[in-house]
Structure 1
Amino acid sequence: METDFKSLFVKELKSFFELKKSERLWHIPVLASLCVGIPLLIGYFTHRLDYGLLASTSGLVILHLPTTTVARRMITLLACSFGFMISYTIGLIFSFNPIVSALVIGLFSVAVHWVVRYFEMKPPSSFFFIMLASVASCMPFDPVQIPTRVGLVGMGAMLACMLAFVYSLYITQKYPPKDEVITVKKANFSNFVESLIIGSFMALSLLVGHLLKLQNPYWLPISCAAVLQGMSLHQVWQRSAQRILGTFLGLALTWGLLKFQMNELGICLSIMFLQFMIEMLIVRHYGLAVIFMTPLTIFLAEASHAMHISPDTLIQARWLDITLGSIIGGIAAFFLYHRKIRARTEQQIRKTGLTVLRR
């Protein structure tokens, strides 16, 4: 028994620090850096870094680029770009009340996760849609600014689409794509139950952030959604542990970078470098990627005043936010992958559906 536990522990420890092999081309990290960095640099040189930051966030739509034909690549990316704009719009519209916004984000997460699962989209699947909606829901409610903000999100996504089109023309000539059949998942009840669980915990995490009066409560649902990208309960818990450890090391890196007291241009260039490192590491080791992901997300959120805020205060706040969100994500995974709970929920939904039809 002791030998089995020891071997299991050693196995888990090795997998925790294992670097996976990847066939991913270096082009994607470079492309992602450009999609995030170009809007930032435009914003810096036009003295509207706040606009550049918003447009650069939507540039992450490039990570949804599939490895198929040019036509299918562009259709997918344009659809995701439209989804980014919808996500941000919904978050902004309902940001007038924290409780209402939490409920709406929960319902939105149910819908977007169900759609993503229905069409079997690959990672990052629903993560960035939920992230954009969560961030927007915590912004000050200002109806006058909604068209401008949504327009900037659209401009950032369109820039990513243009870069993706040029890249796709090149890469499909060098590596002709194989014929691919679009599959649609048929397990509707299973998809709905999974989406319902995720949506409930997205709403709960955002509500907890508001009730605790955190400065940026959107970090909780973002962290929760990030760890739920795992494909099994074991992988989710492993990701939670890696995210907490990676966040700790990433905050140390952030503290070091902030001590340099970089100007706005330095932060823009740092964001481009960090994005490149994340995309190089994310397919090899999630925890290592989180080390660079932590300063990236902090700079994206705090770039306009990162030079003037105390590094110690900023680090403490982010550590609490991300740890709480990761723990909530781990609890959500228990309900998400518990077979008995899912089976009972699916059975109850079927019964409710039949009762409604009979009436």
Structure 2
Amino acid sequence: MRANPHEPSFGRRLWLHALSLLAWKPATRPWHFPVLASLCVGIPALTGVAVGRFDAGVLGSIGGLVILYMPHTPVPHRMVTLAVSALGLTACFALGVATGFNPYLSAATLGLVTALVTLVTRYFALPPPGSFFFVLVTAVAGTLPFDPAALPAHVGLFVLGAIQACLLAFFYSLLAGNRAPAAPPHRPPAQPVAALVPDVAVIGAFVGGSLLLAQSLGLHNPYWVPISCAAIMQGATFRAVWHRQVHRIAGTAIGMGLTWLIFSLPFNAWGLVAVIMALNFLVEFLVVRHYGLAVIFITPLTVLLAEASAMNASPDQLVLARMLDIVLGSVIGFVGGGVLHHPELLRALGLRRPRAE
């Protein structure tokens, strides 16, 4: 017999949780925004194919991902937000590329970048995707072949992709009209910055450490290890609801199956760009409606942008390698989340959360 007769039974609570996993949310973005996002990612890749440098076009496409940080606010605030996001993503990419020659320096850089961008996105309460693509860009950049002579060109291509995304966003804003609500004033979080430092320090240490572990194990292009670790730990740190983690795990597993199918089909460069644009459209269409469905398409999109040059590789080996990366990163992330939820462990590490006044 339940102590509170008005409290739902265990079966009822389980059913309600299951329904929440399947909930379809109303759209908060206009229907044409996914088209804009697809163009921002697709135009650099199409240009690269046209001039016979698909690999260079993909670097510009990664820079075009800055469009995902465009808020639904008036044009001045929108463009400033995009410009700052582009600058931050460029800095992350440049640091990742410049430190990729040394596994220890690369891991330390990724850990520091993760901690800083997590602190900033938490303090300013940035909506999704939050710090995700900052971590992703840094991790992917660190796996590029290190060539000091090519560093300026790589960063330049990334910047060009970000600039064209900002230009498209500006013209899109003029054509779509300025019916956005006023930009909300920044309100600092209830906790002071000092209260955020222990959490972001642990996140940075575990994400950077996960990359170092993956490199020491000899994993090929192990960018998914720190990305998966960061995704799990951010959910724990930001108190995201538990079903978002279920969405990540289930969506990634299905997405890897879709990745295997894409790499098994005989796409040429033009067809591959079309697939990238279609995946980006589906991600932006679904992410505000159902996160789990969006993750299904985020996974192959990320793999394609990072491994487009590996289209001739065995799809079985590629998918198995990425699944190993995801499992390893998720396990490390769960361990890190456990540390975050045990204040005594934080105190043992010398990280104390200030007491609420």
**Structure-2-length-normalised TM-score:** 0.89
Q: Is 1:156 matched up with 2:161?
A: yes
Match of 2:324 in 1: 320
- Structure 2 residue aligned with 1:274: 279
Q: List alignment gaps of at least 5 residues for structure 1.
A: 352-359
Q: CA deviation at 1:38?
A: 0.5
1:67 aligns with 2:75: no
Q: 1:147 to 1:299 in 2, by over 3 A?
A: same
| Residue 346 (structure 1) shift | 8.6
Using a 3 Å threshold, how does the CA distance of structure 1 residues 286 and 343 change in structure 2: closer, same or farther?
farther
Change (3 A) 1:171 1:237: same
Range with bigger deviation, 56-65 or 207-216 = 207-216
1:12–1:232 CA distance, 2 compared to 1 (3 A): farther
Aligned counterpart in structure 1 of residue 91 of structure 2, from 83, 86, 89? 86
- Deviation of 1:65 (Å): 0.9
- Residue aligned with 2:302, SS: helix
Residue 301 (str. 1) matches residue 344 (str. 2): no
CA drift of 1:162 comes to 0.1
- How do 1:1-359 and structure 2 match up within 5 A? 4-173=9-178, 175-178=179-182, 180-185=184-189, 187-230=192-235, 235=240, 237-306=242-311, 308-338=312-342, 348=352
Alignment length (residue pairs): 349
| Contact residue 55 and residue 153 of structure 1 kept, 8 A | yes
Q: C-alpha separation between the residues in 2 aligned to 1:257 and 1:170?
A: 35
Report the AA paired with residue 95 of structure 2.
I
For residue 42 of structure 1, report the CA deviation from its aligned partner. 0.4
Contact 2:79 2:166 in 1 (8 A): yes
Distance, in Å, in 2 between the alignment partners of 1:285 and 1:342 is 34
Instruction: Check 1:341–1:317 CA distance in 2 against 1; reply closer, same or farther (3 A cut).
Output: same
Q: CA deviation at 1:18?
A: 2.5
- What is the distance in 1 between the residues matched to 2:84 and 2:238? 30
For residues 287 and 267 of structure 1, what CA distance do their matches in structure 2 show?
24
CA distance in 2, matches of 1:38, 1:156: 9
Tell me, in whole angstroms, the C-alpha distance in 1 between the residues paired with 2:117 and 2:184: 24
2:5 aligned partner: none
**In 1, Cα distance between the equivalents of 2:275 and 2:269?**
10
Contact 1:67 1:177 in 2 (8 A): yes
Q: Give 3-state SS (helix, strand or coil) of 1:303's partner.
A: helix
Alpha-carbon shift at residue 13 of structure 1 (Å) = 2.1
Counterpart position of 1:355: none
Give the TM-score taking structure 1 as reference length.
Answer: 0.89
More helix by share: 1
Match of 1:356 in 2: none
Deviation at 1:331? 3.0
Q: Deviations over 1:212-257 (max 9, x none)?
A: 2111111111122234453767746533332222222112222222
The sequence identity of aligned pairs, in percent, is 44
CA-based RMSD of the aligned residues comes to 2.5
Partner Cα separation in structure 2 for residue 329 and residue 16 of structure 1 = 22
Deviation at 1:21, TM superposition (A): 2.6
Distance 2:210 2:253 in 1: 20
